[in-house]
Structure 1
Amino acid sequence: MATQVKDKKPLHLAKMNIKKGDTVEILAGKDKGKRGTVSRALPQNSKVIVEGLNVVKKHIRPQGQTRQGGVIEKAMPLHVSNVMLICTECGERTRVGIERRPLGADQKERPVRICKHCHKAIADNTRS
């Protein structure tokens, strides 16, 4: 009686157009239509965690002197197909394209995420 274990995709095979720091709009579920910032991307599971959205109440048990018990609110992961990226230029929700454009001090061609509506590059919020 062997049980089937769901295999996770290796990190190098997972492709997601949504990254940490992106603004997204939720397309399905109880928070449909709301916008938020991606706090964590989970490419192995094709899921993202959006700050303050898809929140559930979780009952936790106290653990000795270190953790107090009670009810906490926790943001749960959403499948990447249920969120859509908001373009930093036009402010609309959009599909994402990839183009090679010259970037950086050496002007070497690198892949850049492109908005399908306005054809401008989507700014990376993770780089500072």
Structure 2
Amino acid sequence: MNTAHLDALPETRANFALDLEDGEKVVFAAPLSCFGTEEDAFLGGGQSKLCLTNRRLVANNTVGLWTVDLADDVVGAELVERGIPLLKSAVVRVDLGEELAYGDARDGQGTLRGFRFYLKPRDGERLAALLRG
């Protein structure tokens, strides 16, 4: 994914504590209704938050951080709206180039090839547009 357009955006405030690398800045932050894998296996609920930096996509499910590198890991993003007009939700599907393993041997290990982020419609539109460049 080409991230040059994100470098030109103004910085915004992160909605959770996030250690940034040199030259990295938050360009989008929003609360999530929930998020899951590409097949909707549950990863985080209503307390989850999302930040997009000019280098990474980071979701916080209050237990840990889910981080993917934009340039190397993300290969696509699409906005999918669901529901009826007044109760619409926006789902942003993020596709990864390689399978990602998560969990540990005790709890069972899972794999995913992407995420689904459930956001308010405006936030979903904006995130999808930023990820598409």
TM over 0.5: no
> Greater relative contact order (Cα 8 A, min sep 6): structure 1 or 2?
2
**TM-score, normalised relative to structure 2:** 0.29
**TM-score, normalised relative to structure 1:** 0.29
